């Protein structure tokens, strides 16, 4: 019970930090919550429309082209942030 209380305090502090800290966050645009267009079936190639560095994910779009290499290593990218994945996929299917 003590441990759960400890976790609740940490979460409370984190929520307060988020509430008061939004003015101190980076001005870099976030990844939109949903991809603005429906994507075609099959493997997605971000480079068909996007160049350079992804907003929010802050890595080149070339990294996220759904090649065999990316499919094999996407967990590495997801551990640094889920937002780009979530704009197209439901995380329940990870």
Partner 1 sequence: MGRPTTVASPGKRVLPAVVAITLLLPLLFAGTALAADLSLSSKTYGLYYERELAGGQKDRYAPLYEYLSADAANLGGKPLSFHFYGWGRVDLGENSGSGSTSGEVGSIYLEYLHPEGNAQGKLGRFFLTEGAAMEIIDGAFVKATTPVGLGVSLYGGVPVEYSILDNTSGGDSLFGGRVFFVRPGFVEIGASYLKEDGTFQGKNREMYGGDLWLRVAPSVELTGQATYNRSVSEMASQRYAVRIVPGSTVDISAGYESYTYKGLFQPALNPAFVSPSVNPGDKVEVIFAIVDWAFVPGWTLEVAGKNIRHDKADPGDANRGEVGLRYSYNDKKDTAGLSAAFVSADLEENEYQEYRGFATYSPGKTRLTLDALTQQYKKEINGKKDQFQVVATAGYQLLAALQLSGNLTYTQSPSFQEDWAGLVRVTYDFAMSTGGKK
**Residue 50 is a binding residue for partner 1 (CB under 8 A):** no
CB 10 within 8 A of CB 38: no
**Residue 49 is a binding residue for partner 1 (CB under 8 A):** no
DSSP string, 46-83: GGGT--SBPTTT-SBGGGGS--HHHHHHHHHHHTT-SH
Other Cβ atoms closer than 10 A to 73: 12
**Residue 90 is a binding residue for partner 1 (CB under 8 A):** yes
Q: Applying CB under 8 A, which residues contact partner 1? A: 3-4, 6-8, 10-11, 14-15, 17-18, 21-22, 24-31, 33-34, 40-43, 45, 47, 52-53, 56, 58-60, 62-63, 65, 67-70, 72-73, 75-83, 90-92, 94
């Amino acid at each position: 019970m003590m441990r759960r209380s400890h976790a609740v305090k940490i979460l409370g502090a984190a929520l307060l930090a988020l509430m008061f800290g939004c003015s101190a966050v980076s001005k870099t645009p976030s990844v939109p919550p949903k991809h603005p267009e429906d994507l075609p079936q099959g493997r997605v190639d971000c480079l068909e429309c996007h160049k350079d560095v992804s907003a929010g994910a802050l890595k080149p779009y070339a990294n996220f082209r759904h090649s065999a290499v990316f499919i094999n290593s996407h967990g590495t990218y997801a551990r640094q942030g889920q937002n780009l994945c979530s704009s197209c996929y439901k995380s329940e299917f990870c």
